[in-house]
Structures are given as structure tokens and as C-alpha cells.
């Protein structure tokens, strides 16, 4: 990882601490939720949105290689609570998965809604991690999440191989405790000025575990990769959390360095 990358990639140290654990977690979207039966929202191409995915492809790891240090950056659902009203969008970055995964979101709080975002997360051809069937999305394709009011919490859910398995699929979400295997399936980073980078692991169980429901998971977290535009003010609010007393000195140091670098970068931009 180069220095520039490190400055743009920073994560909320506070997410590790569960700083806002007193906030009740949003109800998980089950595999049988009607949200998965909704029609695919309009997909906008890069030429329509002006979004450039190239900057973010560097975060997509090769198959079966985890995003470095991803285990440190466990996402707390409260991390995605928006402090300001914003018209949120999500963009497809890549997918390294044989599965035909699906993505949905929910917003709870001031805005209460849920919707399907991508019904068939499949990609084949130049720039795609692999090609295992399906070619529904182009790199950088975007969908509108919609206007989300300040004080709302965003959660994202992956129905693993949902296109094929339907209601029998596993759903993995923002809340680790609500995942059937009890494991983290999502890593989140703050990238650029206004984006969250989300990387999902779609295989059930611990790395290499077999038997039962286990799927010999590789824990590479590249099975569905997105960025979500939450706006600069919301991202800034998320990456400047009030440090908890329990946060280790090293994490505080990391966060402070990240903020410093970010401010410099902001000025540079
Ligand atoms: Ca993968
Ligand atoms: Ca796939
Ligand atoms: Ca995987």
C-alpha cells in the first residue's frame, strides 16, 4: 500500500471499540424478506453519473487474499449513522465470487425504508476479478439509495448467491452478531472525500472450515465490493468519533495521523 493510498484509506478506529453499542441494532433483513423480490432499481452507468471507479479498484484484492488488516476494522452499525441529510448513492466496484450475490440496504431512524440495490452482482470481462457466470454489472455502475435524513442509520445486507438460492440463501450484514455464523462478513473503509468502501465475504463459516453449513470460506472480503456516497460532512463525522477511554494508544495515534493526513489531503484537493 502506498502512502497516498494510506492517506485516503482510513477507517474509523472507534468502530473497533463498539463505541455506540448502546444503540439498538437494526433488524436484519432475512433471506425471505420481500425486499429481495423487488425489481432491480435503475442502474446508472458511469457516463451518466460521472463516477470514476478506477480510484477504488486498487482496494479490490485478488481472489482469496483478504484486504490487509481488514480484521481490525470491524464495522459497527452505528458507524453508518448519518449526521446530515444526504442523497445517498451506491456504486459497484467489483466482485470476486462464483456466487450470484445480491445487495440490499435498510435505513432506520429519521428515515425508515429498505430496498434492493443490486439483484445480480455479476461481472465478467476487462477489470473484473473473475468470470463465473453472469454479466449484469459494469464496473462503476450506480444506483440511488435515496434521500436519507440526519439521524438515520444505514445497514447493508448481502444475500449470498441469492439469485440462485433465493430464500434458502445466507444473508450477511452490517451487524456481526446477527450473522448466522457469528462472524464478520463486511469490512468498511472511508475512502476519498465522501465514500464508504464496503467489502463483503459471502461464504459461511470460519476460514477453511468444512462440514455442516461451513463453505470452506476464504475470508477474502472481495466477493462484493462497493462504495457508498454518504457525502463529505457525513464521512467526516464518522471518521472523527469521540475517542473512548478504552481505545488503545496505538489506535488513537492511528486515528490522529489519519485525520491529519486527511486534512492535508483536503487542502490539496
Ligand atoms: Ca472472493
Ligand atoms: Ca459472481
Ligand atoms: Ca470470499
Say what angle helices 249-268 and 232-239 make with each other, to 10 degrees: 160
Interval 190-235: pLDDT, tens: 888 899 989 999 999 999 999 999 999 999 889 999 999 999 999 9
Q: What are phi and psi of 195, to 5 degrees?
A: -115, 145
Which alpha helices (H) appear in 180-225, and where do they start and end? none
Contact between 68 and 5 under an 8 Å Cβ cutoff? The reply is no
Question: Tens digits of per-residue pLDDT, 47-97?
Answer: 999 999 998 888 887 666 656 555 434 456 557 899 999 999 999 999 999
Distance 96 CA to ligand 2 centre (A): 7
CA–CA gap between residue 60 and residue 225 (Å, rounded): 7
- Rounded to the nearest angstrom, the distance between the alpha carbon of 133 and the centre of ligand 2 is 6
pLDDT of the residue at 242: 54
Q: What is the CA radius of gyration of the chain?
A: 17
In angstroms, the CA 93 to CA 223 distance is 11
Q: What one-character DSSP code corresponds to residue 101?
A: E
- Alpha-carbon distance of 150 to 249, in angstroms, equals 31
- CB atoms within 5 A of ion ligand 2 belong to 97, 122, 132
Nearest bound ligand to the CA of residue 101: 2
Task: State pTM to two decimals.
Answer: 0.79
Which residues lie near ion ligand 3 (Cβ < 5 Å)? 201, 218, 220, 223
* Ligand 2 mean position, distance from CA 78 (Å): 29
Q: Would you state the cell numbers that stand for residue 105, as one nine-digit string?
A: 440496504
The tens digit of pLDDT for each residue in 153-165 reads: 999 999 999 999 9
Distance, CA 73 to ligand 2 centroid (Å)? 25
Distance 202 CA to ligand 3 centre (A): 5
Environment class of 137 (CB within 10 Å of its CB; exposed 0-12, middle 13-18, buried 19+): buried
Amino acid at each position: 500500500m502506498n502512502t497516498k493510498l494510506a492517506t485516503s484509506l482510513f477507517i474509523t478506529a472507534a468502530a473497533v471499540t463498539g463505541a455506540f453499542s448502546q444503540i439498538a441494532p437494526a433488524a436484519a433483513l432475512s433471506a425471505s424478506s420481500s425486499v429481495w423480490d423487488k425489481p432491480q432499481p435503475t442502474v446508472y452507468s458511469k457516463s451518466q453519473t460521472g463516477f470514476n471507479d478506477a480510484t477504488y479498484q486498487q482496494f479490490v484484492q485478488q481472489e482469496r487474499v483478504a484486504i490487509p488488516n481488514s480484521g481490525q476494522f470491524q464495522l459497527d452499525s452505528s458507524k453508518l449513522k448519518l449526521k446530515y441529510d444526504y442523497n445517498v448513492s451506491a456504486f459497484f466496484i467489483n466482485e470476486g465470487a462464483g456466487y450470484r450475490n445480491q445487495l440490499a440496504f435498510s435505513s432506520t431512524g429519521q428515515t425508515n425504508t429498505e430496498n434492493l440495490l443490486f439483484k445480480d452482482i455479476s461481472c465478467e470481462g476487462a477489470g473484473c476479478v473473475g468470470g463465473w457466470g453472469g454479466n449484469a454489472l459494469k464496473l462503476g455502475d450506480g444506483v440511488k439509495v435515496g434521500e436519507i435524513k440526519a439521524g438515520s442509520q444505514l445497514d447493508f445486507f448481502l444475500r449470498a448467491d441469492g439469485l440462485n438460492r433465493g430464500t434458502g440463501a445466507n444473508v450477511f450484514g452490517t451487524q456481526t452478531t446477527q450473522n448466522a455464523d457469528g462472524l464478520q462478513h463486511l469490512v468498511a473503509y472511508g475512502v476519498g472525500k465522501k465514500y464508504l468502501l464496503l467489502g463483503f465475504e459471502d461464504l459461511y463459516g470460519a476460514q477453511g472450515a468444512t462440514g455442516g453449513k461451513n463453505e470452506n470460506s476464504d475470508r477474502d472480503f472481495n466477493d462484493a465490493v462497493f462504495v457508498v456516497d454518504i457525502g463529505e460532512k457525513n464521512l467526516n463525522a464518522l471518521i472523527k468519533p469521540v475517542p473512548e477511554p478504552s481505545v488503545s494508544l496505538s489506535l488513537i495515534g492511528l486515528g490522529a495521523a489519519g485525520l491529519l493526513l486527511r486534512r492535508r489531503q483536503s487542502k490539496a484537493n
